[in-house]
Amino acid sequence: MSDGGAGETSRRSFFAQMMAGIGLLLSYGLFGGYAVAYLFPARVRRTARLLFIGRRVDFAAGSTRTFVDAKGRTLLLRPSGDSIEAFDTRCPHLGCKVHWEPDKDRFFCPCHHGVFNRDGVATAGPPFDAKQSLTREPLDVDSAGNVFLKVEA
């Protein structure tokens, strides 16, 4: 038995200090783990998925169809030979809506008279001066004739 002298630590205070030290070490370790996860985040793999648009036979030659994708963008779908092309309807110049003019075989932006050919390449107006083109979206037609839009999930 100890007489409780000035330099001695009781068993109770020793265990209290030990538990406080262990708690402090664990909290520093947790903080360090969160700091490393913040500084070096895990890479997110983007996967592509297919969004059903329609059947190939539903697209008549020379016609266009609009489609709103999962991101809320409006796309202009236009048959071209055996395939179908999809173009974002936003003009790359200022974001106005372009439309297809079948009689002139072109896309037209009414905001600044931007003109795009059937492939979406600018031929006149501010988009031509800036060497801009319409954004083309990838489509996939399977063997059964189903048309799908490739979107990143």
Instruction: Please state, in angstroms and rounded to a whole number, the distance separating the CA atoms of residues 58 and 69.
Output: 18
Residues belonging to the chain? 153
Tens digit of each residue's pLDDT, the chain (153 residues): 455 556 677 888 889 999 999 999 999 999 999 999 999 988 887 777 788 888 888 877 777 888 887 778 888 888 877 778 888 888 888 888 888 888 888 889 988 888 988 888 888 888 888 888 888 888 888 888 888 888 776
Q: How many CB atoms lie within 10 A of CB 47?
A: 8
Neighbour order of strands in the sheet with 136-137: 65-68, 74-80, 83-88, 136-137
| pTM of the complete model beyond 0.85 | no
Tokens of 84: 């179908």
Q: Note the pLDDT of residue 85.
A: 84
